Every structure is written in structure tokens, then in C-alpha cells.
Structure 1
């Protein structure tokens, strides 16, 4: 069996691209062509299309967790840590339009239940909730379910940037700061 990390990554990238372009009806053979592998090779890595879709989302979750769920720097306040997380999440979603569109498919993916999606993204979701709970204990984040607030912030960023992409101009520093400020203002304790 011919199994290599590079080939697996090419398959995941090809599947991501074709899911965004064509939806979930893209065929395994089209994914194989895009990845530059034989169709039979796909099944060395993923036993079914459903398994491949889980792999695509698992890869996105892995990258997102690696980028955004880093241990806090010593001495940084929870307030500053959350504000940095918001800014980094904006950058993460803005920098890769294909990856950003994959989130749209995740919300409407009939091949995975919401519980399966939740399990795939749980390390990242748990991290952001714990970060907001620490902010609540510090007194900088309003009371309420931290997971709900974290979901609100992430969704607001994704939806705002989705609509902003209709403008071909680069995202400006002012726009980025405005989005980050609105997200922070929605969850912060004021006064």
C-alpha cells in the first residue's frame, strides 16, 4: 500500500478545493485527478467520501488549533490574550478564502452530524471557551456561557469577512481593528 504524508495532504487540499467549488457532490475521481493520484489511492487514506470529508475538517481543525490555541505568554492579562485571539482569528479567516468557505460547508454538511463536527473541533472550541472563562474570572469578560460568546465572536468574524470579500481590495488595518473592536465590545465588561 502506497501511503505518504505528502500524498495525503495533496488529497486533503484537492478535496477542500473541490468541495468549495462544487459542493459535496464532487466525485472521488475528480478529487484524485486534482490531487494527482490514482482514484484507488484515495482509498488507502480514506475508506469513503464521508471519511475524506471528516479528514478535510480534521485538517482545518488541526491547523486552526495549532495557530490559535497556543499557550499564553507569561504575564499577559486575559483581556489582552482574548483581544490577541480575536485579531489572530480575523487574520486566520482572512488569509485563506478557501479555508474560510469550508466553514460554510461545515454548517450545512449532510455527511456529518453536528456532534461529529463538534468532536473534530473540540480542542479549539474548548480552548477558546476556557480562555473566555478565565477572562470572566479576571472580570474583563461579561457573565454568561463562554462557549456561546466564543461561538458568537467566531461567527461574527467569519460572516463579516465573507461579505467583505465581495470587495476585491485588501482588508485595511482600520477595517481589521473595527471588526476586532466590535467583537471585543460584544463580550467585554464595560465601565
Structure 2
């Protein structure tokens, strides 16, 4: 039941923002409003749970498949592929991530805490690549945000145009991300 409530809340937040009432969320989830309050004390607690759940989903999608035995450049390429897959094949989660990134519903520190494992992962990988001279110098948070934001925004618009993700489009997005962060060879 908790998952149904979180899924319904996510959908309602994307569709209606914070105007989604607890009774509307309960209706969307197919549960009684009282049941909703049995799981979540109030809307703030529910929104925090949505952030935590999304943070875990993003971490699973982007970090869990990492193979530390690979060279760092290959790990970055695989990360970009996982980012493309997450955005394209998990439309609801990608839309929620986009919405919550653009319209934070919690204090900044709490939002960042929800995604810190994923952020720490890509920051560490980018620092390693900078040390190896493979990625341009600069703030790794900006560089990681560039990759993630570029993938999310590009694929979101392609999906809205009714385009299908082809191997050619995947390769182009992949190359654009790498070109934007690579040092000149």
C-alpha cells in the first residue's frame, strides 16, 4: 500500500504540484484518506518519502550497474548509457526527477540528501577522470549536472515529439555528452 501511495503522490505532484490534496492523492492511490494518514503523518512527510524513494530509484538505475574493474572512461560511458536508459525507459520517474529538480518542494539540503549517493558516485568518477587528464578541469557538480541535464532535457523533448529512441539517437546523445566533458585529445 505504501508503494501505491508513493506512486500516486508522484503522479499527482507532476500533474498538479503541491495543489494535490491528501484526499486527491488517496483517491489516485485507491485507498481511503484515513489509510493514507496511517502511513504518512502529513503531506510534508509524504513528500519527503517521495524524494527518498526517487533517490533510491535513481541510485539503482545509475550507480548499481557500475563495474569498478573497468577503466574510468569506460565507466563514464556506461554511466551515460544508464542515464539514457533511465530517462527513456522510465518516463514517470524521469518526469518526477525533472519536476522535483526544477521545483524543489523541500529545503535544498534535504533535496540534495535524497540524491547524494548518486551525486557522490559521479563526482568521484569525474574527479578520477580529471586526475587522469580525460575530463576537463572544473567543478564536478557542474560537469555531472551537465551530463544528466543534457540527457534528461534532450530525451524529454524527443519523446514529446513522438520520436523513437534509435541506436543512432542514443549514440548521438552519448557522443554529445562525452564531447562536452572531454579534454582535447
TM-score of Structure 1 vs Structure 2, range by shorter chain: over 0.9
Tell me which of 44, 50, 53 is aligned to 1:56: 50
Q: Structure 2 length normalisation: TM-score?
A: 0.93
1:87-115: CA deviations, max 9, x gaps? Answer: 11011011122212212321343531222
Deviates more, 1:67-76 or 1:117-126: 67-76
Q: Could you tell me which of 165, 168, 181 is aligned with 2:175? A: 181
Structure-2 change in CA distance of 1:110 and 1:177 (3 Å): closer
- Evaluate the alpha carbon distance shift between residue 187 and residue 16 of structure 1 in structure 2; reply closer, same or farther with a 3 A threshold: same
**144, 150, 158: which one pairs with 1:156?**
150
CA distance in 2, matches of 1:156, 1:39: 39
What RMSD, in angstroms, separates the aligned Cα atoms of the two structures?
A: 1.6
Aligned: 1:31 with 2:25: yes
CA 66–29 in structure 1, closer or farther in 2 if over 3 Å, else same:
same
1:71-82 equivalences in 2 (<5 Å) = 72-73=66-67, 75-82=69-76
Structure 2: 5+ residue runs without aligned partners? none
Q: Does 1:69 align with 2:50?
A: no
Q: Does 1:140 align with 2:129?
A: no
Q: Determine whether 1:87 maps to 2:81.
A: yes
Where in structure 1 are there 5+ consecutive unaligned residues? Answer: 1-6
TM-score, L = length of structure 1: 0.90
Partner residue, 1:3: none
Which residue does 2:114 correspond to in 1?
120
CA contact (8 A) 2:9 2:25 kept: yes
